[in-house]
Chain A
Amino acid sequence: MSHSTVPSSIKVSPPPVELERAPLVENNRSLGWISDTVANIIEQKTPLWWKVLFAVSSTTAILVPVGLIYLVTTGVGVWGLNNPVAWGWAIVNFVWWIGIGHAGTLISAILCLLRQKWRTSINRASEAMTIFAVMCAGIFPAVHVGRVWFAWWLFPIPNANAIWPQFRSPLLWDVFAVSTYFTVSLLFWYMGLIPDLATMRDRFRKNASKLVKPFSKITNKLAQFMYGLFSVGWTGSNRHWRNYEKAYLLLAGLSTPLVLSVHSIVSFDFAVSQLPGWHTTIFPPYFVAGAVFGGFAMVMTLMIPLVSLYKGLEELITIRHLEVMSKIILVTGSIVGYAYGMEFFIAYYGGNPYELYAFKNRAFGDYAWSYWWMISCNVISPQFFWFKWCRTNPWFIWIVCGFVNIGMWMERFVIVVTSLHNDFMPANWGYYSPTWVDMMTYFGTFGFFMTLFLLFVRFLPLIAIAELKGVTPQADPHHPLGGAKH
């Protein structure tokens, strides 16, 4: 353990300029600065833009219960579903929202296992995004069962006729996959929050004596109580950190196969059926790549405005972070593009006329507009990220990510609707259009999502403070900034 064997005369020259990496926290900020900057978001007065956005999104969120109450009291027909298209926007929206969640878990779990230290400044917000996106996703299939008062038949409890659920159906696998995904994401997120909640608890404790106004004393007490309750008495003890770090690694290890399995199982909803356009083995990897692609786009859609709204965040979520995420979008976008091409090739090469028809119909049939929207947004728009200027320009990235979000929604629309609308017999052909109830409910989920996200930004540490401190040079006891004397 002794460091005295290291001769003090060894001189380590720094790497050449072109090999130096941009620091994760700019300007060599101190450990205290990191917690001050992140906690300041919670401690400052509520900004005006927050109030405006919160009013708009919480009002929009009301559309969800309004749409659902209208649907339940009237019937699923109000969703524009009919033969032959019995899966419409609800399933499109479900897959879209659940796909968005995948970037959060990828950042928190897979990048943790791969020791990608840059993840520490974006993982908290992305995990929050995952949880809220899965909540939005869950609304749709739960209502889509038609008679929602029988939704409990999905759970492993016998129904009124003592019949159990049928476990060979991918739709039931989906119930388990999505509910496990939500629960495990929540546990992982909460465990990551514990040290930071303790930081908040201690900050409110330190501030308590400085307060004079009775109202701020009450809010301070409330904050101390709530942060204290949920930080479970965390003291930063190293005996605790030892188990905590191991548990964190294990949860990352559990979440990695989980995130890959969830969208695979979502794709089984389609791939296990016998329908041309759905019955393909490429679906699981293609869905997972698409989910990560769309999810990263949503992470950047949320983070880029936040960085410009809160002072100091630009030193924690730097251009380097945005550039790395842009590269992931480029890679996953190209995988998705490859999958689109391969689907077409297999439809031709497989020699099944129905399969070939389904694909020709996608690109040139009644819904060709959605197919070409999908191709432009998902395959063409990420190609800009080959250029460094495009990867390092936040507002340009933001616009591309907007297109990716649209493109991924279109992809699910193409998969769901174009495979269904021309059935095997021309007598069963139809053209599906959503109704105002579909649109209103989907629009409402944005309000629901943004409401939760804004509350998260306002009341919980937006950046994993303890983890971020751990990747700074000051945290390393063998680094001069960490106090090493040699």
Chain B
Amino acid sequence: MNSIDEYKIPYGIMAEFENAADTMHAAEKIRDEGYTIWDVHSPFPVHGMDDAMGLGNSNVGWFTFFGGLLGFTGGMIMIWYMNSFDYDIPVGGKPNFSPLGNFPVAYELTILLGAFGTLFGMFFLNKLPRHHNPLLKNLRFADATHDKFYIVIEAEDPKYEEENLRSLFKDLDSNYIEVVNE
């Protein structure tokens, strides 16, 4: 222990898989073993993996809904305030405020704020942007966006035990197992 670099703090253990089916079976096993702080990394969303990991429905929809609601009510209130409350503009004998005539603008604002809610809600739930990630320093892991599949169990998991996990992953047909350090 001469330099600070040699104090390795494990971030987690990473196991590489060749195809979607092996990864999914492994994920089912990890779920059933009761691990909690872990993740599957794949180059594309694998159909059925949410169940294999024991994850429920995503909550992004709430962000979309409240974004859209804010857009619609905000749009209607804005138009009412501008054209009918703060400064009346009578045009062509039409009412200064009518929910029908003002619908198009409020409708567009519903979609606009709904879309912002969706994207930023997704970012918020995924805790993104996250540019510091020990996995992104690992060159082998770069194949997670190419053609390999990885299961990573973090060291913070209460059941984390390196030797047990190595043998577990070996039984699950992983061809490459590595401990990733912080």
List chain A positions with a Cβ less than 8 A from chain B: 1, 30-32, 35, 156, 158, 162-170, 172-173, 176-177, 180, 183-184, 187-188, 190-191, 195, 198-199, 201-203, 205-206, 228-229, 232-247, 250-251, 254-255, 257-258, 261, 265, 268, 465-467, 469-470, 474-478, 482-485
B128 / chain A contacts, CB cutoff of 8 Å = 232-234, 240
Among B40, B86, B94, B146, the residue within 8 A (CB) of A168 is: B94
List chain B positions with a Cβ less than 8 A from chain A: 18-24, 27-28, 39-53, 55, 57-61, 64, 68, 78-79, 82-83, 86-87, 89, 91-92, 94, 98, 101-102, 104-105, 107-109, 111-112, 114-116, 118-119, 121-123, 125-126, 128-133, 135-136, 139, 141-147
Contact A167 B79, beta carbon cutoff 8 Å = yes
Contact A233 B41, beta carbon cutoff 8 Å = no
Distance of A31 Cα from B57 Cα, bound (Å): 27
Distance of A176 Cα from B79 Cα, bound (Å): 13
Contact A176 B104, beta carbon cutoff 8 Å = yes
Chain A proximity of B138: nearest CB distance (Å): 10
Among B50, B115, B118, B125, the residue within 8 A (CB) of A238 is: B50
Chain A interface, DSSP helix/strand/loop, else mixed: helix
Contact A239 B55, beta carbon cutoff 8 Å = yes
Chain A proximity of B45: nearest CB distance (Å): 4
A172 / chain B contacts, CB cutoff of 8 Å = 105
Distance of A265 Cα from B103 Cα, bound (Å): 11
Contact A484 B21, beta carbon cutoff 8 Å = yes
Distance of A485 Cα from B116 Cα, bound (Å): 43
A255 / chain B contacts, CB cutoff of 8 Å = 111, 115
Most buried by B among A235, A257, A265, A469: A235
Distance of A465 Cα from B42 Cα, bound (Å): 13
B61 / chain A contacts, CB cutoff of 8 Å = 246, 250
Contact A251 B118, beta carbon cutoff 8 Å = yes
A30 / chain B contacts, CB cutoff of 8 Å = 147
CB-based nearest A residue for B102: A167
**Given A243-B60, A246-B58, is A31 in contact with B121 using a C-beta cutoff of 8 Å?**
no
Contact A237 B44, beta carbon cutoff 8 Å = no
Distance of A166 Cα from B101 Cα, bound (Å): 11
